[in-house]
Amino acid sequence: MKRAMAWGLLLCLVLAGCAPKSAQRTIFAMDTVMELTVYGKDAEENVKAAAERINELEKLLSVTREDSEVWALDHAGGETVHISPETNALLRAARAVGEATDGALDVTLYPVVRAWGFTTGEYQIPDEGTLEELLKKVDYRAIRVEPDETGPANATLPAGAEVDFGALAKGYAGELCAGMLRGSGVESALLSLGGNIQTVGNKPDGSPWVVAVQDPAGESGESLGTVELTDQAAVTSGGYQRFFEENGVRYWHILDPETGLPARSGLVSVTVVGESGTLCDGLSTACFVLGKDASLDLWRRCGETGLWPTHETTGMADEGGFDLILVGEDGVVTVTAGLRDRFRLDENTGHTLQIVEE
Ligand code: AMP
Ligand code: MG
């Protein structure tokens, strides 16, 4: 008996020695639940630093906190305000995505988003006159930033215009944390920022991370398929994520900046996979607005190089391109070539898979 116990103890010690050290944190930030998991030695310290960084970013970028930098920018009444490198990086990334998508991503859409009640949950359908009036102030190209380079800067919005980084900030937070963790020697981490996935390296066993893509038509949490990631982000935008219904019509939170109405492009969800979480987040929203054909055109033009070929654009990592998983109302799942061997459609979802080679 004693011998069996001794063997048992030894086995436990051996297994404990083999299991990678890990640390986990669940935080609520940027209006969502975030799960951070970091592996390796100093995991506890590193996960803590990542959580703190996200809280810092939230303080800078929150559109509702009266002490945030975005609040100061939105309430400056046309005056110039000083902005941090982080806010500047997001403005630069938003401009790059806005330009590449003909304004499908427009961070000055905030007053329109608010008129629909998507910021508070007090939903309503704004009348045409209200939308028309609010849309007059929507134009990301009217944001002035001096100097036009990375780092701290001075920014000016036209009076009455307001920005919100809701379409990009979680991807940016994931990207910054991943960079910070890599800099601290972390080789394996999984950051799940409310549906925005950011990975560092591979799983501790050396195989790629495998993350589920949600079925937009299924009950919440059902999977459509899986995608393998190494040192990449996977970000999904979908009409099912935040919406309300009136008279049998569904109104969701991703709006077309041309009309101020929920974007109805024939897509029900868009997942973007790439090295830059910021780019993936911005593009997931923009491609949802653009629809399948225009999104594939964009992929053909920039999928390999990305939108900001050098880090000079944003101060972030070179982003190295992207791939798309587009889910259509017709049940077709369109996947671009880079994910050919890394995306797997679940069986019996009722969807059909189409791979776009070029
Ligand atoms: P995401 O979940 O990343 O697709 O971002 C959606 C959020 O971004 C919404 O909740 C709005 O706050 C904001 N938003 C909606 N439509 C747009 C748009 N076309 N451009 C920029 N931001 C948008
Ligand atoms: Mg987004």
Residue range 210-259, pLDDT digits in tens: 999 998 887 667 899 999 999 999 999 998 889 999 999 999 999 999 99
Kindly indicate the confidence band of residue 13, based on its pLDDT and cuts at 50, 70 and 90.
very low
pLDDT (0 to 100) of residue 307: 83
How many H-runs (helices) and E-runs (strands) does the chain carry?
Answer: 9, 17
d(CA 216, CA 329): 10
pLDDT (0 to 100) of residue 18: 59
Cβ partners under 8 Å of residue 247, min gap 6: none
**Protein residue whose Cα sits closest to atom 18 of ligand 1:** 105
pLDDT (0 to 100) of residue 319: 65
C-alpha 238 – ligand 2 centre gap (Å): 9
Kindly indicate the confidence band of residue 326, based on its pLDDT and cuts at 50, 70 and 90.
very high
% of the chain exceeding 70 in pLDDT: 91
Which ligand minimizes its atom distance to the CA of 194? 1
C-alpha 166 – ligand 1 centre gap (Å): 6
C-alpha 165 – ligand 1 centre gap (Å): 8
Count Cβ atoms within 10 A of the Cβ of residue 108 and give its class: 0-12 exposed, 13-18 middle, 19 or more buried: buried
Kindly indicate the confidence band of residue 309, based on its pLDDT and cuts at 50, 70 and 90.
low
pLDDT (0 to 100) of residue 12: 43
pTM of the model: 0.93
Mean confidence (pLDDT) of the chain: 92
% of the chain exceeding 90 in pLDDT: 83
Give me the sign of the Cα torsion angle 252, 120, 166, 176.
negative
pLDDT (0 to 100) of residue 195: 81
| Pocket of ligand 1 from Cβ distances under 6 Å | 105-107, 109, 113, 118, 164, 166-167, 237, 253-255, 257, 281, 284-285, 289
**Protein residue whose Cα sits closest to atom 5 of ligand 1:** 167
What's the average model confidence in pLDDT over 45-72?
97
Selected residue with higher pLDDT from 332 and 9: 332
pLDDT (0 to 100) of residue 9: 45
**Protein residue whose Cα sits closest to atom 1 of ligand 1:** 167
Whether pLDDT at 316 is above 70: no
Pairing of strands 32-39, 188-193: antiparallel
